[in-house]
Amino acid sequence: MNPYGEKVAGILLAAGASTRMGAIKQLLPIEGETLLGRVIGEALSSDLDKVILVLGYEANEIRKSLANVLAHPKLKVIENKRYREGISTSIIAGLSKVGDAYPHVMILLGDMPAITSALINLLLRRFFDSRLPIGAISIKGERSHPVIFSRIFYPELNALRGDIGARALFEKYPDRVCFVEPEQYFDDRDIDTPDDYLEFRSTLSCQTTKIDNNEHQ
């Protein structure tokens, strides 16, 4: 179990159809792994007790790419047949596998390649310290992802419809949210278009060059 005393399941959303990318964005290569594989690796390395990966579009092809982690004891892969009806259906599909064993659930996006286990653990730590029932990463005062909810909100998460995610709960309960600013720079962009992808890879390349230069000084 994680060090917080109460189990937390992560729901990793990766069912989208990549309509603006023109390719299966979950499989885009980033530093020797796929975009989705990168996020899964960080989630599995974190203090989350379970990671429920929700696939939809090209589920079989994506599953093949994950052969090296499918047997991980913390990972459960499910398929959302209704993914075209919006992100809410993937949240509900993931929540159906959470069960009573997990009093908290963290929602992560599979197309945010800069998510790290350290960021996930920071959100968990601050969330439990706050004793509030909702938590979220915040960038310069703006809500970002990942987000986390206690069990009392499972019925409202199950009532979500369409493609709006859990935004309505933050608007409905602003005084019950623990916002967490990252301790280090966090690039919270999600990868939706070819330009997004190229810009992110360019950013990584610049960071690698900077690190190499510092090591040789």
C-alpha R_g of the chain: 17
% of the chain with per-residue pLDDT over 70: 94
CA-CA distances (angstroms) from residue 69 to 42, 98, 170, 208? 12, 20, 33, 26
What pLDDT shows up at residue 127?
A: 98
Say what the pLDDT of residue 216 is: 45
Is 184 a residue whose pLDDT tops 60? yes
Q: Is the pLDDT of residue 141 over 80?
A: yes
Q: Is 190 helix (H, G, I), strand (E, B) or coil?
A: coil
The amino acid at residue 104 is H
Please check the confidence at residue 138 and state whether its pLDDT lies above 50. yes
49, amino acid identity:
D
pLDDT, tens only, 75-101: 999 999 999 999 999 999 999 999 889
190-202 pLDDT tens trace:
888 888 888 888 8
Whether residue 49 is predicted with pLDDT greater than 80 in this model: the reply is: yes
> Is residue 167 pLDDT above 80, yes or no?
yes
Domains and CATH numbers, the chain: 8-215 (3.90.550.10)
With CA atoms as reference, report the closest residue to 108 among 190, 192, 7, 4: 190
18 in Cβ contact with 55 (< 8 Å): no
The structure's pTM equals 0.92
